[in-house]
Amino acid sequence: MTQPEPCDALIIGTGQAGKPLAGALAKAGWRVVVVEKGRVGGTCVVEGCTPTKTMVASARVAHLARRARDYGVHAGEVTVDLAAVRARKRAIVDAWSGSSERGLTKHDTLELVPGVARFTGPRAVSVHDAETDGEGVPARRFAAEHVFINAGTRTRIPDLPGLDRVPYLTSTSIMELAEVPEHLIVLGGGFIGLEFGQMFRRFGAAVTIVEGGARLVAREDEDVSDALADILRDEGIDLRLDTPAERVGVGPDGGIALHLEGGDTVLGSHLLVAIGRRSNADGLGLEHTGLEPDARGFIPVDDRCRTGVENVWALGDITGAPPFTHISYDDYRVVESQLLGDGSVTRAGRLLPYVMFTDPQLGRVGLTEADARKQGRDIRVAKLPMERVARAVETDETRGFMKAVVDAGTDRVLGAAILGIEGGEVMSVLQMAMVADLPFTALRDGVFAHPTLAESLNNLFLALE
């Protein structure tokens, strides 16, 4: 057996933490090996944010075209060429992934190695041909001074009787369809299920979303969940809430038959499984490192992304952190600070925003009202319907509302939910106020340009007078 090749750093995965870390370490003169089993860019670029939001944009165009008469514009029948939508998505993914790969390979001390990584010791890694799924004789072996795990997550497949006997879709495979489904059944009422459900409804499919819980996106406040449900129903989506799936079978026309608890059955042409993500830690050979995943299968780390094994770090989704690109990228900044900086950057106390790209968007940051009350905080809640926002009225995008949770004693904003047109952008204004530790009165009394969406923050906080 050949001797392992030495390196200063071995990085598993080219997601939004692994890729920039590889470049930073190589620029500092480290010999870096990056192992990637698929395309460069990680989940975000290859099968997550970039392709999905590209397709969401196409779906919104179709939606606006159908609403043309609402704006005094007369257009013909709207049809969707899903193959063309797919081609546009592929082109953008190719461009971003290609750019990411070129960014890595420009470094003289960095080698990008294709294949599947498996630990053979605490900091010893073998690389196997991706087509063998990590089995067989390794193509390369490495002994690293430092190892960084950025291997991400994959679709979680439920243990649902009959699922293995039907051709179900995942959030990756559904984006490769060339034709619009006749009737798409979505299993799961979280972020992934809602984004794809609305998208394909706008492409022209009949859509049924099945959620075992009592409401959609259960982590949100009840008024947010209810408003989202109303928005989706208004677009013609059938919601089956509080109805767990019991089994899957073949329908009478050869399609999908999703049998629900209570005896109801949903018949459709396609089934999307969207109940969440699971860690990829189970395929890394962690048993050879001394590391043990937690009960959910994620790799535990401290506030500096260090695992329980010396000089082994884990970053991004695989640690159980909220599965968002910007959070993974912040993990890169944490590790870069520890190794190349002054060590002052940690995960502790960081403010983590997120956006669900339904239309309208849901932008969220900080505490929900429910969480603040559970903590026993003395709070005030400001709420403004989008139909009272001038810019929303002018654009005829008045669905949803703005909501902020404020500490009654300090006047500081504790959290916000913006369900409305460009909700993510408005949420970011509130996030900046939270980062700067400003009282809500700074937004209430601020002079914002008219007519912008941010201007509505004046009126939102006037409700607290």
Residues with catalytic roles:
450
Phi, psi of 254 (to 5 degrees): 90, 0
Give, for 359, the enclosing helix (H) or strand (E): none
Q: Tell me the C-alpha distance between 433 and 289, whole Å.
A: 43
Task: Check: CB of residue 434 under 8 Å from CB of residue 462.
Answer: no
* Contact between residue 152 and residue 48 where contact means Cβ atoms under 8 Å apart: no
Closest residue by Cα to residue 366 from 400, 330, 408, 412: 412
Look up residue 127 and give its DSSP letter: E
Contact 366, 54 (CB under 8 A): no
- SS3 for 459? helix
- C-alpha 418/C-alpha 366 separation (Å) is 12
Alpha helices for 281-383 (secondary structure H): 325-340, 369-374
The DSSP bridge pattern shows strands 245-250 and 256-260 to be antiparallel
Which residues on adjacent β-strands are paired with residue 379?
A: 407
d(CA 430, CA 443): 8
Q: Which two tokens stand for residue 74?
A: 């007369």
Tokens of 31: 């010999």
- Measure the CA–CA gap between 382 and 443, rounded to whole angstroms: 12
End-to-end CA distance of the chain: 75
Query: Is residue 401 within 8 Å of 383, Cβ to Cβ?
Result: yes
Contacts by residues 4-7 (CB-CB < 8 Å, ≥ 24 positions apart): 4/124, 4/141, 4/142, 4/143, 5/33, 5/140, 5/141, 5/142, 5/143, 6/31, 6/142, 6/143, 6/144, 6/145, 7/31, 7/32, 7/33, 7/142, 7/143, 7/144, 7/145
